[in-house]
Amino acid sequence: MNLKRVSDTIRAALVAVTLAFAGAAQAGRPCEDTPLDAATVTQSMALAEEVAARLSQTSARVVVIARAGQDLDRWGVRWSHMAFAYRDDSGAWRVVHELNHCATPNSALYRQGLGDFFLDHMYRYETAIVALRPDVQEKLLPMLADDARIRQWHVDRYNMLAYPWALEYQQSNQWVLETLAGAMLGEGASRVEAQGWLKGNGYKPGLLRIDTLTRLGARLTRANVAFDDHPPEKRFAGRIETVTVDSALAWLRACGMGSAPILVR
């Protein structure tokens, strides 16, 4: 599995990505028949440019960045997906994140430019940026630029609602937190140790209330949704705990590992 590299030259890429999206669906995005139209591409690129401008005003080398790609309002969740973004030696910003393959039960890691990170049918054209504490940045930066090291805590068995304290599956936001924890623990740390570190440092997962019929329907119709990793007593009570972006950003600020989110619209 190779991490994907995408150009960071946002303006120059605009025409190219418009043409690319006239064809097949891209990895990590829903496999929709409708290609992105010019207006959507323009809005996505405008947001990416604004984010690049804001990041250039900071001294940060590593941040956590969130997007609102889906409508999760009914669950009380604002952000749908988060990733690491880091400034490479050339000064360009790269995004590293886990993406699900077209609603299949598998995922992969991708390295992209800011433009491609926002190039999607976004629910809201806004983002949240959290600058990480300097010592956390120092531990993460060499890892994020290394294809082999970044895979240490990745599991390709994807579950959109993976239980945060189990090992059967992993979802994209969970990968971010486990990788951060692994970086703090050092080389050779296991997923069990990374999850233990998160618990010990006060992380509390998001709680979604999902009734039995909704869970059954999702399990029967979505290959990327499972509930068998959740404790039965919580599952049967409709209390589904998972790593939400909202809970992760709140925890980063509460434990002092991240700044207050910078909102860009």
pLDDT in tens, 129-146: 999 999 999 999 999 999
**Helix (H) or strand (E) segment spanning residue 89:** none
pLDDT in tens, 46-59: 999 999 999 999 99
74 secondary structure, DSSP code: G
Number of CB atoms found within 10 A of residue 106's CB? 12
Q: Which residues contact 188 (CB under 8 A, 6 or more apart)?
A: none
- Of 127-136, 188-197, 218-227, 237-246, give the lowest mean pLDDT range: 218-227
Model confidence at 219, pLDDT cuts 50, 70, 90, reads: low
Q: How far is CA 155 from CA 33, 76, 135, 168, 205, in A?
A: 28, 27, 26, 9, 19
Model confidence at 120, pLDDT cuts 50, 70, 90, reads: confident
Q: pTM of the entire structure?
A: 0.86
Q: What is the pLDDT of residue 134?
A: 97
**Helix (H) or strand (E) segment spanning residue 238:** none
| Strand bridging mode 107-113 / 239-242 | unpaired
Tokens 């002092």 belong to residue: 256
190: left (phi over 0), alpha (psi -120 to 50) or beta: beta
CB 143 within 8 A of CB 62: no
Backbone angles phi, psi at 130, to 5 degrees: -120, 115
**Helix (H) or strand (E) segment spanning residue 47:** helix 38-56
Q: Hey, what long-range contacts does 18-21 have (CB within 8 A, 24 or more apart)?
A: 21/119
For residues 7-16, give the mean pLDDT.
36
The edge-to-edge listing of strands for the beta sheet with 93-100 is: 107-113, 93-100, 81-87, 62-68, 124-131, 262-264
Task: Report the distance separating Cα 113 and Cα 48, nearest Å.
Answer: 9
**Residue ranges covered by each domain of the chain:** 10-264
Helix (H, G, I), strand (E, B) or coil at 242: strand
